[in-house]
């Protein structure tokens, strides 16, 4: 005979097993632990028109007008102001055509206006000495050797690799020792380094003006090494020539 105090009908049932509560707590803990990760994932992969929580401002948020913003204070409604007439950007005062461009636009009766005339010789702003030529050699080795080769004959590693790959669109680099290149004015060489020619890109953005002239000076020295007259060789060295 059952005890009435533990009868399911009168006592509402026996107490549940403690194992159930342990499992329940573990499951709820696991679910709750995923909430921060879910919030982080939502914030990371969704967009919002509100700024992020920024504890340390560090002057990142400033009451200022940004480029292309609207400003009703001015008649044209633009926040950006036009520079006054005659304004020249910092570093853009490049009046010396010989030094900064290597050529000048000239006019003649035979050819008309806007004819390109390249300068011969080096500009007065540079002094061609051993240190200057060595600087040009260093810059040449960095920017020119991969295609034109260390000796200037156009057999650089990039060219040789293109030949191995049999690239039909590859244009061989120009040799520095052809009569055409030797006869070009120094300003022409400078302009080629600056803006490129045919498939060769320009290096005006990477190489400063003075270093470009240093490369020109080294190219002249390189050409002279392969095409110097015997009269330029010291008399005591001439017997050793082959």
Q: What is the pTM of this model?
A: 0.62
C-alpha to C-alpha distance for 203 and 193, rounded to whole angstroms? 6
Nearest of 192, 195, 198 to residue 216 by alpha carbon = 192
Blockwise average pLDDT, block size 10, the chain, 242 residues: 53 62 86 86 82 80 87 91 86 86 82 82 94 96 94 91 85 91 94 92 94 96 88 81 72
- Other beta carbons within 10 angstroms of residue 35's beta carbon come to 9
Domain boundaries along the sequence of the chain: 130-228
* Contact residues for 50 (Cβ-Cβ < 8 A; gap 6+): none
Res 183: pLDDT: 93
Largest CA distance in the chain: 136
What is residue 166's predicted lDDT score, i.e. its pLDDT? 84
CATH class of the domain whose range is 130-228: mainly alpha
Q: Which pLDDT does position 15 carry in this prediction? A: 52
Instruction: Classify each residue of 177-204 as buried b or exposed e, where b means 16 or more C-beta atoms within 10 Å of its C-beta.
Output: beeebeebbbbbbbbbbbeeeeebeebe
CA distance 239 to 242: 8
Question: First CA to last CA across the chain, in angstroms?
Answer: 129
E-assigned strand segments in 96-220: 103-108, 112-118
Instruction: Give the per-residue pLDDT at 222.
Output: 94
């Amino acid at each position: 005979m059952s005890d009435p105090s533990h009868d399911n009908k009168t006592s509402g049932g026996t107490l549940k097993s403690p194992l159930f509560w342990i499992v329940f707590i573990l499951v709820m803990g696991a679910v709750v632990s995923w909430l921060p990760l879910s919030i982080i994932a939502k914030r990371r992969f969704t967009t919002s028109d509100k700024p992020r929580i920024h504890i340390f401002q560090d002057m990142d948020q400033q009451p200022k007008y940004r480029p292309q913003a609207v400003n009703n204070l001015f008649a044209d409604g633009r926040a950006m102001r036009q520079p006054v007439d005659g304004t020249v950007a910092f570093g853009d005062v490049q009046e010396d055509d010989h030094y900064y461009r290597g050529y000048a636009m000239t006019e003649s009766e035979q050819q008309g206006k806007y004819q390109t005339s390249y300068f011969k010789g080096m500009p007065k702003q540079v002094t061609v000495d051993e240190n200057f030529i060595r600087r040009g050699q260093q810059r040449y080795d960095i920017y020119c050797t991969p295609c034109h080769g260390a000796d200037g004959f156009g057999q650089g590693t990039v060219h040789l690799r293109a030949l191995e790959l049999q690239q039909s669109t590859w244009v061989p680099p120009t040799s520095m020792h052809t009569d055409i290149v030797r006869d070009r004015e120094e300003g022409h060489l400078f302009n080629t380094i600056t803006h490129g020619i045919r498939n060769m890109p320009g290096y005006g953005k990477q190489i400063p003006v003075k270093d470009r002239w240093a490369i020109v000076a080294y190219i002249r020295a390189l050409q002279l090494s392969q095409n110097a007259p015997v009269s330029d060789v010291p008399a005591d060295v001439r017997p050793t020539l082959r």
